[in-house]
Amino acid sequence: MKKLDVFEAAMSKIQSEFSQCPTVHTDWEFALTDKKTGEVKNTKKFRMIAIVNNAEKSQHVGIIVPELSSEYVQIPDLVEKFLSQIRKTGETDSTLEKKMPDIHIFRFTGDVYLYTDKLLVSEDAIRDHFQKNNLVLQSRLVKSNPVL
């Protein structure tokens, strides 16, 4: 029996929760550095998803990350970087335009849907950090369930 990984499980949750909304995503990595030396010790893959609500002319951002720890502090900057990247590629990338409406007319709601299977920091700490950056944390715990 194959287990769904966090990315697959979260993507299917997003598709059912936002079934009327087209999405576009990109996969990135956090560089986890040693606090003393500053050298990169490890990397952690995560996915950023733009969720576009045509009816409300708005967009949200979803983030899928297995085991979120102190790197959550980077998320507000990454959300901003991601949204500006999609605005740029939305103008030129013809494959994107077929699926995605013109993103420029969509207002970012500030809602960030966090899909993770394990939080290694308190949800309150993440929520407070997001609020300081004008983002609203929408936490979604993902259980990687075996496929039946």
Q: How many domains does the chain have?
A: 1
CB atoms within 10 A of CB 87: 14
Residue 103: predicted pLDDT:
65
**Full DSSP string of the chain:** -PBPPHHHHHHHHHHHHTTTS-EEEEEEEEEEE-TTT--EEEEEEEEEEEEEETTTTEEEEEEE-SSB-GGGGGHHHHHHHHHHHHHHHHHH-HHHHHHS--GGGSEEEEEEEEEES-BSS-HHHHHHHHHHTT-EEEEEE---PBP-
With 70 as the cut, is the pLDDT of residue 148 above it? no
Of 145 and 66, more confident: 66
**Minimal CA–CA distance to 77: which of 116, 18, 130?**
130
Q: Report yes or no on 147 lying in a domain.
A: no
Of 19, 133, 16, nearest to 76 by C-alpha is 133
What does the pLDDT look like over 19-64, one tens digit per residue?
999 999 999 998 877 778 888 888 889 999 999 998 999 999 999 9
Residue 78 falls inside a structural domain: yes
Residue 131 placed within a domain: yes
Structural domain range at position 69? 6-141
Is this model's pTM higher than 0.85 or not?
no
1 found inside a domain: no
Residue 91 has pLDDT above 60, yes or no: no
pLDDT of the residue at 97: 41
The pLDDT value recorded for residue 86 is 84
**146 assigned to some structural domain:** no
pLDDT, one tens digit per residue, over 55-68 is: 999 999 999 999 99
How does pLDDT run across 92-134, given as a tens digit for each residue?
Answer: 444 444 455 566 678 999 999 999 999 999 999 999 999 999 9
